[in-house]
Homo-oligomer: A and B are copies of this chain.
Amino acid sequence: MNAAETQKTADFLKALGEFNRLSLVYELCRCESSQNAMCLCECCSVDASVVSRHLKVLAERDIVTFDKVGREKTYRLNRNEVATQLRELADLIENKDCKRGHHDV
């Protein structure tokens, strides 16, 4: 596990590991269709600018994707990608394959 990969995984987890951002993810999880930011604002009681910034962080980590329709941006959760990343980490931690190779740097 090199440093760059570790950093990338840490950034991914950190993006999810904040209350309002995780709330946004849960909110998007509940929605079958894409949602614009104004709609998502309602799920966490913060300013629209804050939601905008949180969504940007989530998008940077590929946790959400958006389409621009008119003046709105509609966001959707990258369900498969996020779930896959979490499961890969779970597999690594549960250790299917790394117990033997001690200190194989």
Contacts and interface: CB of A to CB of B under 8 A. Distances in A.
Copies per complex?
2
A77 B91 CA distance: 13
B16 A10 contact: yes
Interface in A1-32: 1, 3, 6-7, 9-19, 21-23, 25-26, 29-32
Interface string A76-95: 01011011101101111111
A9 B23 CA distance: 10
A101 B29 contact: no
Contacts of A101: 30
A19 B26 contact: no
A3 B10 CA distance: 23
A103 interface: yes
